[in-house]
């Protein structure tokens, strides 16, 4: 029956029905969630309003509330609709990361158009995963945390490979953005290095503002020569004892995990081998360039050429030519008493 029905339906019509079925089966956004384009527009104005409130005189919390409410009125949305949309998009990490990439680019473009100095790019943005200073971050490009269970913590772990060396130091870098109602900004991050003898070295850092943060870990003297087994870290947004309707969101962007190889100094000079070679090359070049460029005469050129010197070495004691050599007598010949005739 089905086969006979499929034979009667044209192929183009069958493809159209199949596409409609796929679209109908695709999960749709919950009611009240804004479209992705409208959400981007709201977030751009929201962050611009937050920046304006930071530079205004008076109570910062009151200024933020006043400007954020103006953003909601501009886009004809309610605060509850903004919170619902933000919760939905933040749970889809990949889409949310793409959205915030566009939002950050638009904010930077608007700031440049208004003559406002935009936030500088991270000093680690140009790094790759190769070299003595490398960015080894392979996790999410954006982390979003909300003060609800399972959504308020992000944990990562990275095993060491052959590119890791004893004495390496690390920096976990990111830029934090709070999207919140009220002024409760409190979170913290931690980075831990695990060594071969099960010892660890770690650092923690509080996150209380929309700023760049560096969590730096350097090995102590007792761990400077140990092999590294792995790295781990997490960022945690506490569930505060406050009104559960008050919305809070923490996003981390421009994330980098930078590894620095230890610089080994030269035993004789105390300088790094690379800098020593560079200094010696520079000193040789400066010595040559400091000489005046004059044309030498042929005589000066001959005088400047190295000459071979000969040294006479006396192996035996010299004989005095004034002394008369004596005749050697044969011990077997008898001695005679012949006198010389006068």
Q: Please tell me whether residues 145 and 91 are part of one structural domain.
A: no
Which of 153, 40, 45, 50 has its CA nearest to residue 89? 40
Asked if residue 273 is part of any domain, the answer here is no
Under 8 Å between Cβ of 160 and 212: no
Asked if residue 149 is part of any domain, the answer here is yes
Asked if residue 127 is part of any domain, the answer here is no
330: Cβ–Cβ under 8 A, 6 or more apart, which residues?
Answer: none
Asked if residue 173 is part of any domain, the answer here is yes
Q: Please tell me whether residues 146 and 254 are part of one structural domain.
A: yes
Asked if residue 332 is part of any domain, the answer here is no
Q: Please tell me whether residues 174 and 255 are part of one structural domain.
A: yes
Q: Please tell me whether residues 186 and 144 are part of one structural domain.
A: yes
Q: Please tell me whether residues 208 and 241 are part of one structural domain.
A: yes
Which of 192, 186, 203 has its CA nearest to residue 228? 192
Domain boundaries, position 235: 133-260
75: Cβ–Cβ under 8 A, 6 or more apart, which residues?
Answer: 38, 41, 42, 45
Q: Which helix (H) or strand (E) holds 277?
A: helix 273-289
297-333 pLDDT, tens per residue? 555 655 665 555 555 555 555 555 555 555 555 555 5
Q: Please tell me whether residues 203 and 157 are part of one structural domain.
A: yes
- In the numeric block, which tokens belong to residue 56? 């205004």
Asked if residue 299 is part of any domain, the answer here is no
- The pTM of this model reads 0.61
pLDDT at 206: 93
Asked if residue 268 is part of any domain, the answer here is no
pLDDT at 245: 58
pLDDT at 178: 83
User: Could you list the mean pLDDT of each consecutive 10-residue stretch along the chain, which spans 342 residues?
Assistant: 49 46 53 89 88 78 86 91 86 80 84 66 86 92 84 93 95 88 80 94 91 93 93 90 66 93 67 44 39 52 56 53 54 54 48
Angle at 143 between CA 111 and CA 73, to 5 degrees: 50
Domain CATH for 161:
2.60.120
342 three-state secondary structure: coil
Q: How many domains is the chain partitioned into structurally? A: 2
What is the Cα–Cα distance from 209 to 211, expressed in whole angstroms?
Answer: 6
> Of 238, 260, 282, which marks where a domain is finished?
260
pLDDT at 225: 92
Q: Please tell me whether residues 106 and 139 are part of one structural domain.
A: no
Which of 152, 220, 168, 185 has its CA nearest to residue 64? 185
Q: Please tell me whether residues 137 and 186 are part of one structural domain.
A: yes
pLDDT at 6: 47
Q: Please tell me whether residues 138 and 99 are part of one structural domain.
A: no
Q: Please tell me whether residues 141 and 213 are part of one structural domain.
A: yes
180-194 pLDDT, tens per residue? 766 678 899 999 999
Asked if residue 275 is part of any domain, the answer here is no
> Of 80, 113, 146, which marks where a domain is finished?
113
Q: Please tell me whether residues 158 and 249 are part of one structural domain.
A: yes
> Of 260, 291, 324, which marks where a domain is finished?
260
Q: Please tell me whether residues 138 and 188 are part of one structural domain.
A: yes
Number of Cβ atoms within 10 Å of the Cβ of 141? 15
């Amino acid at each position: 029956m089905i086969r006979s029905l499929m034979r009667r339906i044209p192929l183009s019509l069958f493809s159209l029905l199949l596409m409609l079925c796929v679209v109908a089966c695709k999960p749709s956004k919950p009611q009240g969630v804004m479209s992705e384009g409208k959400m981007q527009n709201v977030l751009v104005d929201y962050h611009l309003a937050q920046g304006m409130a930071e530079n205004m005189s008076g109570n910062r919390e009151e200024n933020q509330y006043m400007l954020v409410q103006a953003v909601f009125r501009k886009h004809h949305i309610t605060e509850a609709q903004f919170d619902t949309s933000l919760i939905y998009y933040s749970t889809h990490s990949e889409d949310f990361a793409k959205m915030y990439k566009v939002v950050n680019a638009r904010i930077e473009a608007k700031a440049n158009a208004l003559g406002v100095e935009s936030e500088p790019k991270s000093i680690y943005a140009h790094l790759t995963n190769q070299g003595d200073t490398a960015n080894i971050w392979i996790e999410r490009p954006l982390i979003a945390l909300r003060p609800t269970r399972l959504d308020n913590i992000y944990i990562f772990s990275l095993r060491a490979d052959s590119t890791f060396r004893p004495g390496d130091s690390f920096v976990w870098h990111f830029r934090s953005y709070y999207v919140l109602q009220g002024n409760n900004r409190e979170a913290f991050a931690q980075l831990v290095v695990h060594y071969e003898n099960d010892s660890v070295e770690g650092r923690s850092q509080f996150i209380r503002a929309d700023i760049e943060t560096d969590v730096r870990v350097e090995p102590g003297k007792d761990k400077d020569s140990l092999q590294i087994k792995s790295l781990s870290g997490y960022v945690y947004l506490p569930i505060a004892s406050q009104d559960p309707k008050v919305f809070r969101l923490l996003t981390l962007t421009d994330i980098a995990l930078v590894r620095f190889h230890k610089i080994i100094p030269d035993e004789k000079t105390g300088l790094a081998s690379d800098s020593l070679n560079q200094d010696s090359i520079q000193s040789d070049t400066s010595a040559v360039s400091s000489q005046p460029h004059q044309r030498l005469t042929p005589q000066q050129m001959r005088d400047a050429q190295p000459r071979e010197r000969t040294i006479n070495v006396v192996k035996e004691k010299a004989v005095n030519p004034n002394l008369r050599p004596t005749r050697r007598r044969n011990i077997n010949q008898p001695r005679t008493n012949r006198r010389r005739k006068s």
